[in-house]
Structure 1
């Protein structure tokens, strides 16, 4: 769970109807658009100050694209993103630049996001200098030492280059760079998936400790439900560009309501061998459909063991609240989970 102070009721970040559609181009002399990849297709989210929202789903579901759209690292095709009352999607370049220090990102692959020709000290000092957050070279160097210390690296690391570090150390540098401008919101895109298992827990614990110390708000994007459960206050489960279930982390992990969430959780190993041998496993049939040509109706119906073709193949379910704080996009939630059908 999050190590921050209890979140207040006002959202720091909210997304309404966010879409990111990438055009598919064809042609030799003249490019023409023949379709769109619907990477994100109508997502609503809220993140309250001081909490951690986990966004989980299999590869290709659009969660990383969503994270970038929330910061406008990619431009949303439609929808609205608000940060602390400001419409991020309506800002011009200068307005977005003024807001950037408060919204930062930790990338999945630190080696790809760090300049191999630039020392770690120079990489950390660059945003500080660009935004005028320290006076003179001495002030920037002092801030760099503070950042390295905060992520558990020695001051001598400032003079070294990315290739001289291990994967876990490079991710610590990526975390330090995200913290360089003292942000309020950090979006962590698969922050530990590229690391050895022995290092993952160290980095996760570091993120939790930093949240507690600095009062950060996190959006953690991951496909590993164990990481999300440990770090998150609430979870949003994505499938093929849309959110299919949202709710408190412990409740979703203990009692998932959507068939896709059930399948994701059934794939997570359990440490108890007695439980592991008897628990139900849900094997999804078929492959993830293409986001360039998603199925009609419920996008999960082609793989869902509970789908009914007369409804699921024709009507797209909307997120609706089924219990306080729990929303799910499924036509037959109550039937699947032992209650009465809503249809």
Structure 2
């Protein structure tokens, strides 16, 4: 392997991360010693995205769509099958192992389960000092302890926590330890994989606010992977929606939640409860037909067409849509404009929009009978 671009760093105010046509395919093997490849699971299949320096990119989608694999591939924890990942102007996929090790100091990860991601045999000081020793940070033990103490203070943990073990903390405190482990090396990018999914709702708010404060204070760049749409909306500047290994929509956070354009995004938004009884009673959830297709054998054409209420018989089944700009969004749908305008009806219903009053309120779809898959 050869080194990538090690000197041509990107401008300090540009994109910190740029991903181009990233693919991660896992082989399916058979045979007595599993030496015969019979197919591939296309966990990530052609993703393009950019994350500006100091901003937060939220990634949402149902389980199995490839969100976590994308995050791990971005950090090169899972080797990409093909594509490019540029970090601050350095192409990571072509770096030699020793150079990649140096870059890891600037890219850290907060793992999903705060308990299983911490070694139960190590106390907090041992957990946090491990990264400093691996990267040669700090001249001696005292200097490393000062760095650790400062990081603990930043995440709101007392200094007595240094001698305690993970099982002695609550879930929220353990997640703060995980955040401290990511921050102690002074990274530029943090990939947070479901950072609050294992926590109680009240603790979720504390951790989300902490991440927000740390970003402002330290100038961090985040990739936040989550199922909770409310969490993503609160913390993200830009949101990407994944389905079956690919991005189907990307938009500024407020735009995505107020005007979802892709049918899959509309279905996700319709599942979010509305704190208005009248609107909640009148609206109808968009229920997707069928099961999620296998990533080992995705449908031809648009991957969502087998479950899409707006799918058309020929084009959707034969031609894969590209992620194209529509206003401030990027959408991978052949009929996004027709769906948004109401010109194209979903199968069995005519959509209309109920717009709740109040700032930040999200529109929701209600329905009336119509001809399947027809144009108005």
Distance in 1 of aligned mates of 2:209 and 2:280: 26
1:208 aligns with 2:212: yes
Alignment counterpart, residue 335 of structure 1, candidates 333, 338, 352: 338
Q: CA RMSD in A?
A: 1.4
**1:130 Cα offset (Å):** 1.5
Alignment counterpart, residue 91 of structure 1, candidates 89, 95, 107: 95
Distance in 2 of aligned mates of 1:10 and 1:147: 27
Structure possessing the higher radius of gyration over alpha carbons: 2
Q: Is the 8 A contact 1:8 1:50 kept in 2?
A: no
Q: Secondary structure at the match of 1:277?
A: helix
Cα deviations by residue, 1:205-258 (Å, 9 ceiling, x for unpaired): 000000011000111011111011000000110000000001100000000000
Partner of 1:306: 310
Q: Secondary structure at the match of 1:337?
A: helix
1:150 aligns with 2:177: no
**1:30 Cα offset (Å):** 5.3
Partner of 1:234: 238
Cα deviations by residue, 1:66-118 (Å, 9 ceiling, x for unpaired): 00000000000000000000001100111101111111110101211111111
Written as runs of structure 1 = structure 2, the 5 A alignment for 1:186-197 is 186-197=190-201
**1:10 Cα offset (Å):** 1.6
Distance in 2 of aligned mates of 1:219 and 1:8: 18
Written as runs of structure 1 = structure 2, the 5 A alignment for 1:1-343 is 10-29=14-33, 31-323=35-327, 325-338=328-341
Q: TM-score, normalised on structure 2?
A: 0.87
Partner of 1:3: none
Cα deviations by residue, 1:282-330 (Å, 9 ceiling, x for unpaired): 111111111011111100001000001211111100000111x311000
**Runs of 5+ consecutive residues of structure 2 not aligned to the other structure:** 1-10, 345-376
Partner of 2:368: none
**Runs of 5+ consecutive residues of structure 1 not aligned to the other structure:** 1-6
Q: Structure 1 281/9 Cα, relative in aligned 2: closer, same or farther at 3 Å?
A: farther
Give the structure, 1 or 2, with the largest relative contact order (CA under 8 Å, sep 6 or more). Answer: 1
Q: Which runs of 4+ in 1 moved over 3 A?
A: none
Q: Secondary structure at the match of 1:112?
A: coil
Q: Secondary structure at the match of 1:299?
A: coil
Aligned residue-pair number: 334
Q: Secondary structure at the match of 1:111?
A: coil
Distance in 2 of aligned mates of 1:118 and 1:253: 42
Q: Is the 8 A contact 1:55 1:235 kept in 2?
A: yes
Q: Structure 1 22/94 Cα, relative in aligned 2: closer, same or farther at 3 Å?
A: same
**1:8 Cα offset (Å):** 7.7
Distance in 1 of aligned mates of 2:20 and 2:37: 26
**1:274 Cα offset (Å):** 2.2
Q: Secondary structure at the match of 1:313?
A: helix
**1:259 Cα offset (Å):** 0.3
**1:122 Cα offset (Å):** 0.5
Q: Secondary structure at the match of 2:28?
A: strand
Distance in 2 of aligned mates of 1:226 and 1:316: 30
Q: TM-score, normalised on structure 1?
A: 0.95
